[in-house]
Amino acid sequence: MSLVQLIATASDAQAADREVAAFNLSENGHVYGTIRFFSYKSGGSGYYLVENTTPQDRRYSIAIRDGNGRINEISVPVASGATSRGSCFVAGYKNAGVYDAILTRVREL
């Protein structure tokens, strides 16, 4: 398999993922970034993408509440203008789902 075929295969796989939720990461009316949740095509799991929309590198602490009311906290460092990806089981459309994502703390790195 050539490099071009590998890139096309990876792009096709990501294109099949379904965005299931998106939230602004804000504090006191100031938006520091976004978090988006995706379900894999199978629906059994998913992932999140945290995007830093500020000119500074930041660490985001985020409380993710699922459809059953359970809260999972994550802490994610993200460079200015970059995106960080992590696993998120509840984002799979066959699971509890993402009900809310709340920025609990943000700080410059």
Task: Specify if 4 maps to a domain.
Answer: no
Task: Specify if 88 maps to a domain.
Answer: yes
pLDDT in tens, 77-90: 999 999 999 999 99
Q: What was the pLDDT predicted at 16? A: 79
| 75: phi then psi, degrees, rounded to nearest 5 | -130, 120
Mean pLDDT of the chain: 90
Task: Specify if 68 maps to a domain.
Answer: yes
Task: Specify if 3 maps to a domain.
Answer: no
74 touches 64 (CB < 8 A)? yes
Phi-psi region of 81 (alpha: psi -120 to 50; beta: other; left: phi over 0): left
85 touches 46 (CB < 8 A)? no
Task: Specify if 104 maps to a domain.
Answer: yes
> Domain holding 69: CATH number?
2.60.40
Task: Specify if 31 maps to a domain.
Answer: yes
pLDDT in tens, 2-54: 444 444 444 455 567 999 999 999 999 999 999 999 999 999 999 999 999 99
Q: What angle do CA 43, 37, 106 make, to 5 degrees?
A: 150
Task: Specify if 6 maps to a domain.
Answer: no
Task: Specify if 35 maps to a domain.
Answer: yes
Name the domain count of the chain: 1
Helix (H) or strand (E) holding 4: helix 3-16
| 46: phi then psi, degrees, rounded to nearest 5 | -170, -160
Show the domain range for 76: 17-108
